[in-house]
Structure 1
Amino acid sequence: MTDDPRQHDGSPADGSPGDGSPALRSRRSGPRRELRAVHALVHRELLRLIGERTRTALVLVQPVFYLLLLGGGLASVIPDRTVGGDYRAFLFPGVLVMTVQAPAMGVGMRLIIDRESGYLRETLMAPVRRSTLLYGSCLGGTTVATTQGVLLLALTTGLIGLPYHPALLAVLLLGMILTAFTFSALTLALAVRIRTVETFGTVLGLAMMPLLFLSGAFFPLTALPSWVAVLTSLNPLSYAVDALRRCIMHYAPGHRAVGGPEWAGWQPPVPLELGVLAAAGAGALLWAARRFARPE
């Protein structure tokens, strides 16, 4: 009769961790638990998107209004040389940014509502890191916001005379993903510091509209006073709008991109603009995760 090299608990007789040891099982299941938590939070956001079809449709109404009515009306008034071509094509990147803005900002609002209702306290009892819950919320908000942006992109690209070119759509999708991610991260960074929905809404109202107007979404940045150039160069949304606009103008015959952010008279290329946007979102999310990880 041979000696069994394992003890009754499944670990080797010499005391070293085996396949069945609790420590090893914990190490193996840890990453899976974190991923399951992220998946659950993303799934929650997608279920809310599917269950609120009317609200989703209403969110798309405002960007379509700006693009077709405001853009169509001003296109006959604003000279083409001022905006580099048809004003609707100039306005389109700003409309895409507006489309992903609203659902991305909703992530921070839900974090505060969950805190007030006690749902967040129950969620924090899950055997995962606090930062993982914040990452999952950010990914969920990014996914929902990008989905709504894709819907608008599919509905309106042809209406303003732009081609459904695969390369153009891929670049616009990447830009919307990074914009949605940055919006979600920024609103979460606010939400971890603000305790009430009313204060959060007020702060967003004061912050987001200036960010949009200083992004060049509605008019070229060259039309602003020179001292405002410093603010536009610090605004991450100005890089999102300009990167999308320069990609669109590349595929729009007779159009050219005008009025983007500059660094001492030098305009950064599109990859660098997207990199600045991603870095701003990552920095905001890491700060928010570090702050959120502290026990309350």
Structure 2
Amino acid sequence: MNLSDLADDDTAAPPWHGSGFTATLRREWLLLTRNRSNLLLAVVPTAGYIALVATSLADLIGTVTYRGEPVGYPDFVVPALMFAALLAAATTSGTALVQERAHGMALELWSYPLTRWQYVAGKLLAGSALVFVQTVAALAASAALFRGRWPADRWAALLCGALLAALAFNALCLLLATVVRDSQRFTVLVNVLAPLLLFASPSFYPIENLGTVQRILADVNPVSYGVTALREALLRGFPGAWPYFLLLGVVGVVAVAGVGRALARQSRAL
């Protein structure tokens, strides 16, 4: 689906008709979910990771040592699979913003009765919702394949961590999309950067197994802290995860504020 498919015409209301914030949310959700290419890029890599781990790596590795304690590899790797889905969905959200600008949809948007805060809030919430849904879907698929039997408090902590991470990383990707204006450059950048960030973090292996250079990269990699937040939530629940949840919350607030300022500034420049 092209972005122009969401445009209004002379004979029918747009599919995102409504008023204000409700219309913005509807329009953003359609924009994010009807582009088959973007959805395939968001779903296929994660499905490949889950299939690979479920069919080979889990049996091959067995257990790993995490912070001095033996942990079954499925429990260790589920947060990484969730984050693979999260990053893929976040790049979809950022790509949609770049494509919207490249196709001239911004001008048409501001011909609709819409305030800046409605546009910004709708874009942030719709994108975060998509990221959260795909992250939870990866969790559900992983739990089914690995027969995860976790206590209720661990599920609650995982869902809370997924929500915070979705808000934070969706906002970070949107912030990157406001900086990189060229659509082809952005597409190449995020499709190279996302797997690099995932594998340059203690996602699929403990940080103790990394070399000096790799450990330095992991220390400055935001994905490291996101994956650790979900891993602590799975293995220790809220008591172990709350410092990382707090960090994700701070990152999310800063990134959301940056996205809001950038989008509002771009709208005034039209």
Q: Identify the TM-score tier after normalising by the shorter chain.
A: 0.7 to 0.9
Choose the corresponding residue for 2:203, options 197, 217, 223: 217
Q: Give unpaired runs (5+ residues) of structure 2.
A: 1-18
The reply to whether residue 207 of structure 1 matches residue 193 of structure 2 is yes
On the 8 A contact 2:32/2:92 being kept in 1, the answer is: no
Corresponding residue number in structure 2 for 1:287: 258
2:71 match: secondary structure: coil
Choose the corresponding residue for 2:24, options 37, 41, 49: 41
Corresponding residue number in structure 2 for 1:112: 98
Corresponding residue number in structure 2 for 1:7: none
Q: TM-score scaled to structure 2, two decimals?
A: 0.77
Corresponding residue number in structure 2 for 1:155: 141
Alignment map for 1:245-284 (pairs within 5 Å): 245-250=231-236, 269-284=240-255
On the 8 A contact 1:157/1:164 being kept in 2, the answer is: no
Query: Amino acid of the residue matched to residue 284 of structure 1?
Result: A
Structure of larger gyration radius: 1
Relative to structure 1, the CA distance from residue 202 to residue 68 in structure 2 (aligned partners, 3 Å threshold; closer, same or farther) is closer
Corresponding residue number in structure 1 for 2:180: 194
The structural deviation recorded for 1:46 is: 3.4
RMSD of aligned C-alpha atoms? 3.0
More off after superposition, 50-59 vs 282-291? 50-59
Relative to structure 1, the CA distance from residue 123 to residue 48 in structure 2 (aligned partners, 3 Å threshold; closer, same or farther) is closer
Choose the corresponding residue for 1:174, options 133, 143, 160: 160
1:85 match: secondary structure: strand
On the 8 A contact 1:71/1:87 being kept in 2, the answer is: no
Corresponding residue number in structure 2 for 1:143: 129
More off after superposition, 51-60 vs 191-200? 51-60
Relative to structure 1, the CA distance from residue 289 to residue 53 in structure 2 (aligned partners, 3 Å threshold; closer, same or farther) is closer
Structure (1/2) with the larger helix percentage: 2
Count of residue correspondences: 246
On the 8 A contact 1:91/1:217 being kept in 2, the answer is: yes
The structural deviation recorded for 1:79 is: 5.4
Percent identity between the two aligned chains: 29
Q: Give unpaired runs (5+ residues) of structure 1.
A: 1-35, 252-267
